[in-house]
Amino acid sequence: MDAVLAYIDSRLCAPISLEDLARAASMSSRALNILCHRHHGVPPMKLLRNLRLDAARARLLGDASASITDTALALGFGHLGRFSAYFFSRFQELPRDTRRRRES
């Protein structure tokens, strides 16, 4: 699992497929799916999305010049509406609310 997390961390802003993650872990996609569920409770691609969302939230909270659009696109979210929905699902607030909290 450490190899997968290191791979994700080193390529967080780059496109990553399930096959890329399985190759980084030196196992099949099915074995990686089982491992991710065991250690993180989610499939590998949801783990990747969650880590990207965590990075987006950290950027929005920590960088006054970071725009929501630029942050989402830089972290691989091509559809801004979906990004906002995923963000809300994970943090129970919209990206703009996170940004407003930082500004106040």
Residue type for position 91: F
Residue with tokens 């995923």: 86
pLDDT at 28 over 90: yes
85: its two tokens? 């929905």
Q: Contact at 8 Å (CB) between 36 and 42?
A: yes
Tell me the per-residue pLDDT of 37-84, one tens digit each, with 9 for 90 and over. 999 999 999 999 999 999 999 999 998 889 999 999 999 999 999 999
DSSP assignment string, 5-29: HHHHHHTTTS---HHHHHHHHTS-H
> Which domains occur in the chain, in start order?
2-103 (1.10.10.60)
Please report the pLDDT score of residue 64 as a whole number: 84
